[in-house]
Amino acid sequence: MKIKPLHILIGLALLILGCNATEKSNQFKAKKTQKTQEYDTIEIANDSLEYKIIILEIGFNSWLATQRPRGYYSQTFLENKNRILVSEYNSRVNEPSRFDPQLYPFRIDYDSRTDYGYEVNYLLYHYFLFFQQKYNQNLRY
């Protein structure tokens, strides 16, 4: 199995890794850890490690606990929102003279034809909401 990154680094925070696999498992295990006192860390990975998302951001854990619960939104809703948000985020990465490159350092490789599963889409969507609120950004979705 060859692993290829689908790198997502939002601000200081987000990473999705993928690999080429014929079977897709949407069973994700959430593991909350704290690597340093500075950052909250959430890591989500499925059993076959096809996709992985790591969020390292101060205050994200406590903020996420105040949001609508898993299952409130459909996976289709989350995928549609993420497609729009990723597109806007990536356009800002390409315009460092207009948008702070420290907030938009890397492109997000989010393929709308890939089934990342509910948990990855849920966390990505909520990270975008958190990012907009914390850094006073409007990604126009």
**CA 119 to CA 111: how far, in whole Å?**
16
Q: In what order do the strands lie in the sheet with 51-57?
A: 3-5, 14-19, 51-57, 40-46, 28-33
* Residue 43 belongs to a domain: yes
Entry pTM:
0.68
Give residues with Cβ within 8 angstroms of 12, minimum separation 6. Answer: 39, 56, 57
**CA 100 to CA 36: how far, in whole Å?**
26
pLDDT tens by residue, 7-25:
333 333 333 333 323 233 3
Q: Could you tell me the residue range of the domain that residue 30 belongs to? A: 3-134
Provide the number of structural domains found in the chain.
1
pLDDT tens by residue, 39-89:
566 666 655 546 667 777 889 989 999 999 999 999 999 999 999 999 999
* Residue 19 belongs to a domain: yes
* Residue 109 belongs to a domain: yes
**CA 13 to CA 43: how far, in whole Å?**
11
* Residue 67 belongs to a domain: yes
